[in-house]
Structure 1
Amino acid sequence: MVVRIQVVTWAERRKFRLKLERYFRIRYDIYVRRRQWRALARPINIEMDAFDTEHAVYLLALDSLGKIVGGSRLVPTLQPHLLGNVFPELAPAGPPRAPDIFEWTRFFISPALHRSGRSSPIAGILLCGVLEVARKLGIRQISVVCESFWPKRLRAFGWSITELGEVLQHEDGDVIALLIDVTPEAIANTRRVYGIREPILAEAATTA
């Protein structure tokens, strides 16, 4: 399956209106219906939160037919974001905030593409995509609130991460806050682990 990462900003929301609507509907299916995050439930089958603003940058993983098979989101930490406004206790020294630090949230793979007991190739493409988009945007580090198993997994990919605090027992699962260095080495290692040799970003694929 050929998959590329399409980056969508606020300025491009009209051009990608249908794709974004589908993206939010998939988020609803995953986080509300499947994971039972009831706090996110809405009268319509679209999952949007307080951080889906004009500052958000969306990463849509699209197959060769333009179907969304995964997605993620980056939000500048100088704006309201999950760690700073909802889980500040996960970073006792204070949530990191800087123009070149963004928060990474809403990472998902289409449920139909999940592989029991092993990571989906789509996950590798999205992980590379997050880092490559971050470097393209001049982002030095990304913070994330994630499940407690992620630090071990990301370190296995060669990512340089800092745990900002202890694991928090939460009703939706144990979570921890991380600060991740965006480096060429992390991109190269993740590509190697997943055997990725082709361009990840959609615009790079068209010019390669």
Structure 2
Amino acid sequence: MIHVITSANSAQNTDLMEQAFRLRHRIFVEEMGWSAVAREDRREIDEFDDEHAVHLLAVEEDDVVGYSRLLPTTRPYVLSTHLPQLCKGTPPADPGLVEWSRIGVADSARTSGRRLNPTALAILTAIVEWGLPRGLHGFVSEMPTSWLLRLLQLHIHAMPLGLPQRIDDVEIVAVRAGFDAQSLRRLHAMRGTTASVLAPARGGIIRLAS
């Protein structure tokens, strides 16, 4: 299940968030070599992990096995603050758009082959399932160029915001992606079920901070 954690329920989910920050450190610092965000406590946390962040945690038997973060684009976010060179123009600012970043899956939940990883698919489904009722219609993200086709196959309407650039030896492109009810139906079809991926909220009503 995907747990959605914001400032409204973070106090009830400190154990899961501790796992999430340590998972981020393993993926982004230890595996991907992001030395600039390394910390001695082995928790990967940055300036955007504040009251405006929405954390999506894939949890299996109380273990966090996947993670990503949503940030409102009406405030400073990763693309607009640190990677504006990936955009041909001004990075988007739209209350219906969030930034999807820090996308990672634990080694124990990774799969091989051409099919989308089930944990990553569940997280993407959660964005659409959770976002549509809250007025979201899309996201911006910085991702490997190889992901573009996969998004289109999932009926996520992705368009580059600029030309790809090599960052840490990976060709990265900034995209603006739109989703709707058709996207959710396609995601359900890919998962083989219409059952919700969202776990029941623990500790309060979860809203998108603005």
Contact kept in structure 1, 2:155 and 2:179, CA below 8 Å: no
Q: Deviations over 1:1-56 (max 9, x none)?
A: xxx11111112111101110110001001111111111111121000112111100
| Map of 1:11 onto structure 2 | 8
Once residues 44 and 172 of structure 1 are traced to their aligned partners in structure 2, the CA distance between those partners, rounded to angstroms, is 27
Q: Distance in 2 between matches of 1:198 and 1:172?
A: 38
TM-score (norm 1): 0.91
Question: What SS class does the counterpart of residue 155 from structure 2 fall into?
Answer: coil
Q: CA RMSD in A?
A: 1.5
Mapped pair 1:124 → 2:127? no
Is 2:55 the partner of 1:58? yes
Identity, in percent, stands at: 31
> 97, 100, 104: which is aligned to 1:108?
104
Q: Does 1:42 align with 2:6?
A: no
Aligned positions of 1:91-170 closer than 5 A: 91-118=87-114, 119-170=116-167
Task: Output one character per residue of 1:54-105: Cα deviation in whole Å (capped at 9) or x when no partner.
Answer: 1000111112x22212111100011121110111111112111022211111
Counterparts of residues 67-86 of structure 1 (less than 5 Å): 67-86=63-82
2:22 to 14, 25, 32: 25
How far residue 128 of structure 1 moved from its aligned partner, in angstroms, is: 0.5
Residue aligned with 1:124, SS: helix
Please say if residues 161 and 178 of structure 1, whose CA atoms lie closer than 8 Å, have aligned partners that are also in contact: yes
Stretch moving more, 150-159 or 110-119: 110-119
Partner SS, residue 169 of structure 1 = strand
Q: Distance in 2 between matches of 1:147 and 1:6?
A: 25
- Superposition deviation, residue 154 in structure 1: 0.7
Structure 1 residue ranges without an equivalent (≥5):
none
Aligned AA for 2:19? R
The alignment partner of 1:152 has SS state of helix
In the superposition, the TM-score normalised over structure 2's length comes to 0.90
- The answer to whether the 8 A contact 2:69-2:103 is kept is yes
- Partner amino acid for 1:186? S
> In 2, are the aligned partners of 1:125 and 1:196 still within 8 Å (CA)?
no
Deviation at 1:172, TM superposition (A): 4.6
Equivalent pair of 1:10/1:54 in contact (CA under 8 Å):
yes
Asked whether the 8 Å contact 1:5–1:126 carries over to 2, the reply is yes
Given that 2:88 and 2:163 are in contact with CA atoms closer than 8 Å, whether structure 1 keeps it comes out as no
CA contact (8 A) 1:82 1:145 kept: no
Alignment-derived partner of residue 205 in structure 2: none
Structure 1 residue runs of 4 or more that deviate by more than 3 Å after TM superposition: none
Residues in 2 aligned to 1:10 and 1:164: alpha-carbon distance in whole angstroms: 30
Equivalent residues of 1:60, 1:70 under 8 A apart: yes
Instruction: Tell me what 2:194 maps to.
Output: 197
Distance in 1, matches of 2:42 and 2:12, equals: 22
